[in-house]
Structures are given as structure tokens and as C-alpha cells.
């Protein structure tokens, strides 16, 4: 099977963005790397912390409103259109709603070959990464570490807390190009 999209789902600071960059190095041909952070960064200031867009609580909570939902739907339609036009895409996302988030994305990506990858990381490791980054609300990594995976179906899962990013990327790339996954690399 030839995949058009690789969706990486994991909590904040689980290693998704690093993994996406590593995948671009090991996958054959060019792959675009897009992130939910790209959408958040592109949002107008009026939709940040106003209740209709996206807001970040003092303990790391993330809340999204209808304004964010509308933009996210358009964002996903655009990603699907790029994939249908021939672009291969690695998308890193955070399924705050677990299975519901995946269902919304599946509807937008209907008819495309998607490799669904769970990116796991021990909450303590993710929290340490979050602290070292300094660009996230403290507590976000620990709050999201498990909830983003609830009810989500994956083709493959990797753990960036126990396995290096290059090895995780090789396991995903092997699955993406149809060569299977070496047992020592799968999590």
C-alpha cells in the first residue's frame, strides 16, 4: 500500500515534531511536514484565549471553541486536498478528544491512504522535555500524555521515551513503504 499521509498523534512534548523531521530524512521522496502547531501559530490573536478559539489554562489545560473548530475543519480539508493533488504529508497532531478527534480527521481524509501512528512517551519524560523547551504551559505534557490516545486506533505505535527518534522513524518509514516493521523497533 502506498500511503499519502502519515498522521502522528501524541501529547505535547512527546516528540512528534522531531519524529516528523526525522521521517523527512528517511522516507523515499519528498514529504511535507505539517503540525497542529502551524494552525495554532497562524490563528489571529483574536482567536487565542477568547473562548471561541483556543485557550491555555494555568495547569496546562487546552480548550477549543467553535472558531477553532471551523478553522481546524478548513485546515484539514486543505491538507486532504494537498494529499489528493499528490503531496505526501506527515501531519503531527494532538487528539485532545481522543477517538472523536480521530473520527473528525478520518471524515476529512476519506478515500486517502493514511498511516495512523501513536506517539507515546512516559508523562514524566514528556514533562521534562516540556520544561526544557520553555515554550509550553507547564502541565500540558502530563495532562495530554494518555488522554490523546483514548479510543484511538493505530496502525503502529512508537515510544520516544524508550526508543530513539531515528529508530522510531525507521520503523514508521518501513511500514509506510510496505516493508513491515522490524520487531525490535515496534512498540
Residue 13's CB is within 10 A of a number of other CB atoms, namely: 26
Q: What share of the chain is helix, strand, coil (3-state, %, to 5)?
A: 45, 15, 40
Q: Which residues are catalytic?
A: 37
Cα separation, 63 vs 68, in Å, equals 10
Cα separation, 31 vs 100, in Å, equals 27
Burial of 58: CB neighbours in 10 Å, binned 0-12, 13-18, 19+: exposed
Among 10, 7, 9, 37, smallest CA distance to 123 is for: 10
Cα separation, 113 vs 183, in Å, equals 23
Angle 76-146-12 from CA coordinates, rounded to 5° = 55
Amino acid at each position: 500500500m502506498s500511503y499519502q499521509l502519515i498522521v502522528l498523534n501524541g501529547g505535547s512534548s512527546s516528540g512528534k515534531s522531531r519524529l516528523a523531521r526525522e521521517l523527512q530524512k528517511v522516507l523515499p521522496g519528498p514529504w511535507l511536514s505539517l503540525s497542529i502547531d502551524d494552525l495554532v501559530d497562524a490563528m489571529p490573536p483574536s482567536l487565542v484565549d477568547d473562548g471561541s478559539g483556543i485557550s491555555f489554562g494555568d495547569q496546562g489545560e487546552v480548550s477549543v471553541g467553535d472558531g477553532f473548530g471551523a478553522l481546524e475543519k478548513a485546515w484539514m480539508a486543505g491538507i486532504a486536498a494537498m494529499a489528493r493533488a499528490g503531496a505526501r504529508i506527515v501531519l503531527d497532531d494532538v487528539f485532545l478528544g481522543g477517538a472523536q478527534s480521530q473520527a473528525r480527521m478520518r471524515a476529512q481524509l476519506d478515500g486517502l491512504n493514511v498511516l495512523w501512528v501513536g506517539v507515546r512517551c512516559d508523562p514524566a519524560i514528556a514533562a521534562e522535555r516540556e520544561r526544557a523547551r520553555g515554550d509550553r504551559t507547564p502541565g500540558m505534557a502530563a495532562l495530554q500524555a494518555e488522554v490523546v490516545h483514548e479510543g484511538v486506533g493505530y496502525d503502529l505505535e512508537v515510544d520516544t521515551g524508550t526508543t530513539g527518534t531515528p529508530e522510531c522513524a525507521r520503523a514508521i518509514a518501513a511500514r509506510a513503504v510496505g516493508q513491515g516493521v522490524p520487531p525490535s523497533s515496534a512498540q
